[in-house]
Amino acid sequence: MTGRRHYRPRYLQVAEDLRDEILRGDLAAGDPLPGEPVLAERYHLSRTSVRDAIKLLRDWGLVRAEPGRGTRVRTQRQRVRRTPERYQWEKDRVRLPEHERRTAGATEKDTGLKVDDLEFHAEYSTVEAGADLAERFQVPVGTRLLHRVYWTSSVKEGAALTLARSWLVYDVAAANPDLLDAANEPWPGGTQHQLHTLGIEVDHVIDEITARPPQPDEAHILDIGPGVSVLVLRKTSVDTEGRVAEVAETVLPGDRTELVYTTRLERWSG
Amino acid sequence: MTGRRHYRPRYLQVAEDLRDEILRGDLAAGDPLPGEPVLAERYHLSRTSVRDAIKLLRDWGLVRAEPGRGTRVRTQRQRVRRTPERYQWEKDRVRLPEHERRTAGATEKDTGLKVDDLEFHAEYSTVEAGADLAERFQVPVGTRLLHRVYWTSSVKEGAALTLARSWLVYDVAAANPDLLDAANEPWPGGTQHQLHTLGIEVDHVIDEITARPPQPDEAHILDIGPGVSVLVLRKTSVDTEGRVAEVAETVLPGDRTELVYTTRLERWSG
């Protein structure tokens, strides 16, 4: 921000400056951060403000205080660039043979990682629809839902890249008993293939995006610091009959995830 | 989250419960929050945990401690639901007569408010392109850019709903000197009309979305509490020649903004 009305503390500018150096790679993983006196002189800043800047870098998860070794740059986390092309990509894979469907899922597509770089976790349970999900699925409050929790971890980082919850109407899913057992995860071809086994074809997907601080359990699984926000992406898959087939909510770390949507406009006639 | 691995403190559940009551309107603006002893008994919780829950509601900006009146529910903030249809909508308006272009902008469209409910602010300055914007515009680092800061406030709330920064290549914009003067804002028809006066037609718009805690100046202008994250939407408008015509970055409060994108999938042949 520029302009006299905007209050921008100096320590924040310094923290952003150092952040840019880290993200550009000028300061590499394992490198020591310059000491407080050096930074104070470089930026003409008090030691207190330098400490505030370093605290912010720690909160952002970019540096870490290492006993006896000072403050060092942390290994930068895997970045995720997620575009809605993943939905058509998943749909196109539904009718591939199983051995091809098995080779990659949407997370591999978003991260550029291989199946072996990722560890997949799934937990299933049943829940009763509250007011919100009941309205979404157009079913009575209390209707039984299959509730699925997924997280995909980078083997190298030992922390989750994304955390997702998904709901299906239980009685709909139960038409294929294989869909009720988490042991069948990761399901080759993912949710769109699962729905296909029920005779359901997805027509469109609605992404609704908000942001908030992580909840403690999310911060733990995603291994993110207190200065990191999460993106919450609620995805509603609507079938060719106009019925909601699946609702999912994915929590993504805001500091390393980019959601990218391209809107093409109609051309003016020449 | 469910499952034994997920640590979910009780005070958080209570805070979410009360948040839902407020958002549903069961607790209305100005209503007192039930007292600590009442909440402690209702939720079988210690007074300390109750206080933690109430602090969280304050951080979220949902309640406020009022001297001598206890903790009361705040007036709920204007919600913004933003879809990419706004881009085609803006484009279609470019060729309308000025008096029609003047009647509404995209913020009115997103909020359902009228022009008179909103107060518009614009500040212009010039900046030199850093590495990031230079790459985006495909110009040398140091190229002069027109830097525009906008915020739109709800008259009723006295706080900004959104905060945006926008960059144009200065020498491109200067072909129409009217575009260099903030006094011409709000420009009827917005940026797409401004670009049209330069002979530029927008072909597609790329939205890149991340999330982070607000910076102090942003928290001040948007009047958001420390427990609220912001969505950062970087918008790149590409013209019919494939050149980047505008880069903009909009900061939106994550607790009352929903970005909505719909992806239509190809149908399987019957």
Give residue limits of the domains in chain A: 10-73, 80-259
pLDDT (average), residues B45-62: 91
B218 contacts A149? CB cut-off 8 A: no
B125 to each of A5, A22, B170, B248, how far by Cα in Å? 14, 29, 10, 14
The backbone torsions φ and ψ at residue A127, rounded to the nearest 5 degrees and listed phi first, read -135, 165
Q: Among A215, A254, A261, select the one facing B211 at the smallest CB separation.
A: A254
- A171's CB contacts (< 8 A; 6+ apart) are A144
- A80's CB contacts (< 8 A; 6+ apart) are A107, A110, A111, A161, A162, A252, A256, A257, A258
A144-154 and A118-128 as β-strands: parallel, antiparallel, unpaired?
A: antiparallel
A2 lies within 8 A of chain B by CB: yes
Closest-approach residue (CA) in chain A for B264: A204
Banded model confidence at residue A7, pLDDT cuts 50, 70, 90: low
Q: Among A127, A254, A259, select the one facing B229 at the smallest CB separation.
A: A254
Number of A to B CB contacts under 8 A, please give it: 179
List the one residue out of B232, B230, B235, B219 whose CA is nearest residue B256. B230
Percent residues over pLDDT 70 in chain A: 97
Q: Are A87 and A93 in contact (CB under 8 A)?
A: no
Beta strands in chain B (DSSP E): 63-66, 70-73, 80-82, 118-128, 144-154, 159-169, 202-212, 230-239, 244-253, 257-264
Query: Distance between terminal CA atoms of chain A?
Result: 39
Tens digits of residue pLDDT in B75-84: 878 888 999 9
Q: Quick one: fold of A80-259?
A: Chorismate lyase (3.40.1410)
Return the ∠ at Cα A67 (arms to A62 and A69), rounded to 5°.
75
Banded model confidence at residue B2, pLDDT cuts 50, 70, 90: very low
pLDDT (average), residues A214-234: 90
Dist. CA B137–CA B166, nearest whole Å: 13
DSSP state of B256: T
Percent residues over pLDDT 70 in chain B: 97
Task: Report B:25-84 residues touching A (Cβ under 8 A).
Answer: 84
B201 contacts A211? CB cut-off 8 A: no
For the segment(s) B10-73, the CATH number from 3.40.50.150, 3.20.20.240, 1.10.260.40, 1.10.10.10 is: 1.10.10.10
Q: Are A144 and A126 in contact (CB under 8 A)?
A: yes
- Residue B270's pLDDT is 58
As a whole number, the mean pLDDT across chain B is 90
Banded model confidence at residue B230, pLDDT cuts 50, 70, 90: very high
Q: Are A208 and B4 in contact (CB under 8 A)?
A: no
A202 contacts B123? CB cut-off 8 A: no
A186 lies within 8 A of chain B by CB: no
Beta strands in chain A (DSSP E): 63-66, 70-73, 80-82, 118-128, 144-154, 159-169, 202-212, 230-239, 244-253, 257-264
**Distance, in angstroms, between B263 CA and closest chain A CA?**
5
B156 lies within 8 A of chain A by CB: no
B233 to each of A54, A199, B163, B185, B261, how far by Cα in Å? 26, 37, 11, 22, 13
- Residue A270's pLDDT is 58
Dist. CA B78–CA B155, nearest whole Å: 11
B206 contacts A257? CB cut-off 8 A: no
Q: Is the pLDDT of residue A1 over 60?
A: no
Q: Is the pLDDT of residue A59 over 80?
A: yes
- Which is more confidently placed, A263 or A160? A263
Looking from the CA of A45 toward its CB, the CA atoms found within 13 Å total 23
Percent residues over pLDDT 90 in chain A: 60
B80-82 and B257-264 as β-strands: parallel, antiparallel, unpaired?
A: parallel
A268 contacts B203? CB cut-off 8 A: no
Query: Distance between terminal CA atoms of chain B?
Result: 39
A219 lies within 8 A of chain B by CB: no
Q: Among A87, A127, A259, select the one facing B209 at the smallest CB separation.
A: A259
B258 contacts A204? CB cut-off 8 A: no
CB contacts, 8 Å: B263 with chain A: 84, 87-88, 204-207
Dist. CA B107–CA A21, nearest whole Å: 36
Q: Among A127, A209, A229, select the one facing B213 at the smallest CB separation.
A: A229
- Residue A80's pLDDT is 86
pLDDT (average), residues B7-17: 84
List the one residue out of A68, A58, A69, A60 whose CA is nearest residue A31. A69
pLDDT (average), residues B185-208: 96
B203 contacts A127? CB cut-off 8 A: no
Q: Residue A123 corresponds to which amino acid?
A: E
Q: Are A59 and A71 in contact (CB under 8 A)?
A: no
A264 lies within 8 A of chain B by CB: yes
B69 to each of B28, B30, B35, B38, B189, how far by Cα in Å? 15, 10, 11, 16, 46
**Distance, in angstroms, between B68 CA and closest chain A CA?**
31
B88 contacts A266? CB cut-off 8 A: yes
Tens digits of residue pLDDT in A168-177: 999 999 999 9
